[in-house]
Structure 1
Amino acid sequence: MNPPATHSLRKRLLFFLLLAILLASVVQGVSAYRGALQQADDMFDYHLQQMARSLRGGIPLGPPAPDSDAPGDFDFYVQIWGPDGAQIFRSAPRALPPQAVLGFSDVTVGGTSYRVYSVQTPLQTVQIAQNMSARLARARALAAHAVLPIALMAPLLMLVVWWVISRSLAPVERTRRQVASRSAGDLSPLPGEGLPEEVRPLVDELNLLLGRVRTAFDAQTQFVANAAHELRSPLTALKLQAQALRRSGDEAAREVSVARLNQGIDRAIRLVEQLLALAREEAGPGHPAASERLNLQDAVQFAVADVLPQAQARHIDLGVGDTEPAWVRGQLDALRILLRNLLDNALKYTPAPGRVDVALRIVGAHAVLVVEDSGPGIAPLDRPRVFDRFFRAASDSGASGSGLGLAIVKTIADRHGATLRLDRSERLGGLQVEVRFPLADSAPARD
Structure 2
Amino acid sequence: MDKLSHALRGLLPRSLRMRLLVFLLAAIVLAGAVQGALAYRSALDEADALFDYHMQQTALALRSGLPVDAQGLGPGLDPEDENHEFIVQVWTNEGLRIFESAVGAALPQIAVLGFTNVQARGGTYRVFSMQTRSQVIQVAQNMAVRQGMARSLALRTLAPLAFMAPLLVLAVWWGVSRSLAPVERVRRQLAQRQADDLSPVSDAQLPDEVQPLVSELNLLFERVQRAFEAQEHFVADAAHELRSPLAALRLQLQGLQRAGDDAARAAAIERLSAGIDRATRLVEQLLTLARQEASSTATEPVDLRAIAQLALADVAPAAQARSMDVGLLDSEAATVPVIVRGSAEALRMLVRNLLDNAIKYTPPGGQVDVQVGTDHGRALLTVEDSGPGIAPEHRERVMQRFVRDTADGAPGSGLGLAIVQAIAQRHGAAVALDRSPRLGGLQVALRFG
* TM surpasses 0.5: yes
Structure 2 unmatched ranges of 5 or more: 1-5
CA drift of 1:184 comes to 2.0
Residue deviations 1:71-122 (CA, integer Å, cap 9, x gap): 28xx311111122211111112121011211111111113211111111112
Quick one: structure 1 residues 227 and 70, their matched pair in 2 at CA, closer, same or farther if it must change by over 3 Å?
farther
- The answer to whether 1:14 aligns with 2:17 is no
For the 8 Å contact 1:168–1:196, the answer to whether it is kept is yes
Residue deviations 1:173-212 (CA, integer Å, cap 9, x gap): 1211221232221101112234334323332232222112
Quick one: structure 1 residues 342 and 128, their matched pair in 2 at CA, closer, same or farther if it must change by over 3 Å?
same
1:388 maps to which of 389, 400, 403: 400
For the 8 Å contact 2:82–2:101, the answer to whether it is kept is no
Corresponding residue for 2:363? 351
- The answer to whether 1:48 aligns with 2:60 is no
Q: Which SS does the other structure have where 1:235 is aligned? A: helix
- The answer to whether 1:407 aligns with 2:422 is no
Corresponding residue for 2:97? 87
For the 8 Å contact 2:126–2:141, the answer to whether it is kept is yes
1:296-307 alignment to 2 at 5 Å? 296-307=304-315
1:244 maps to which of 244, 255, 258: 255
1:42-441 alignment to 2 at 5 Å? 42-62=49-69, 63=71, 64=73, 71=83, 75-92=85-102, 93-285=104-296, 287-289=297-299, 291=300, 293-322=301-330, 324-325=334-335, 326-328=337-339, 329-393=341-405, 396-437=407-448
Q: Which SS does the other structure have where 1:381 is aligned? A: helix
Quick one: structure 1 residues 311 and 272, their matched pair in 2 at CA, closer, same or farther if it must change by over 3 Å?
same
TM-score when normalising by structure 2:
0.90
1:37 maps to which of 44, 54, 60: 44
What is the CA–CA distance in structure 1 between the aligned matches of 2:322 and 2:93, rounded to whole Å? 141
State the AA in 2 paired with 1:130: Q
State the AA in 2 paired with 1:89: F
For the 8 Å contact 1:69–1:94, the answer to whether it is kept is no
CA drift of 1:67 comes to 5.1
> Which sits farther off after the overlay, 301-310 or 30-39?
301-310
CA root-mean-square deviation: 2.2
TM-score when normalising by structure 1:
0.90
Q: Which SS does the other structure have where 1:57 is aligned? A: coil
Quick one: structure 1 residues 88 and 320, their matched pair in 2 at CA, closer, same or farther if it must change by over 3 Å?
closer
Q: Which SS does the other structure have where 1:113 is aligned? A: strand
CA drift of 1:256 comes to 1.9
What is the CA–CA distance in structure 1 between the aligned matches of 2:80 and 2:38, rounded to whole Å? 36
State the AA in 1 paired with 2:355: L
State the AA in 1 paired with 2:389: G
Deviating beyond 6 angstroms after TM superposition, the runs of 4 or more aligned structure 1 residues are: none
What is the CA–CA distance in structure 1 between the aligned matches of 2:80 and 2:353, rounded to whole Å? 116
State the AA in 1 paired with 2:89: Q
What is the CA–CA distance in structure 2 between the aligned matches of 1:331 and 1:198, rounded to whole Å? 34
Residue deviations 1:204-242 (CA, integer Å, cap 9, x gap): 232222112111210111111111211121111111110
Q: Which SS does the other structure have where 1:100 is aligned? A: coil
State the AA in 2 paired with 1:25: G
State the AA in 2 paired with 1:52: A
| Percent identity of paired positions between Structure 1 and Structure 2 | 57
Q: Which SS does the other structure have where 1:369 is aligned? A: strand
CA drift of 1:66 comes to 6.3
> Which sits farther off after the overlay, 84-93 or 321-330?
321-330
Corresponding residue for 2:3? none
Q: How many correspondences in the alignment? A: 430
What is the CA–CA distance in structure 2 between the aligned matches of 1:360 and 1:430, rounded to whole Å? 18
For the 8 Å contact 1:370–1:432, the answer to whether it is kept is yes
Quick one: structure 1 residues 7 and 387, their matched pair in 2 at CA, closer, same or farther if it must change by over 3 Å?
farther
CA drift of 1:143 comes to 0.3
CA drift of 1:437 comes to 4.0
CA drift of 1:161 comes to 0.3
Structure 1 unmatched ranges of 5 or more: 439-447
CA drift of 1:345 comes to 0.5
What is the CA–CA distance in structure 2 between the aligned matches of 1:123 and 1:367, rounded to whole Å? 111
State the AA in 2 paired with 1:220: Q
Residue deviations 1:26-75 (CA, integer Å, cap 9, x gap): 11111111111111111111110111111111122144366569628xx3
> Which sits farther off after the overlay, 248-257 or 364-373?
364-373
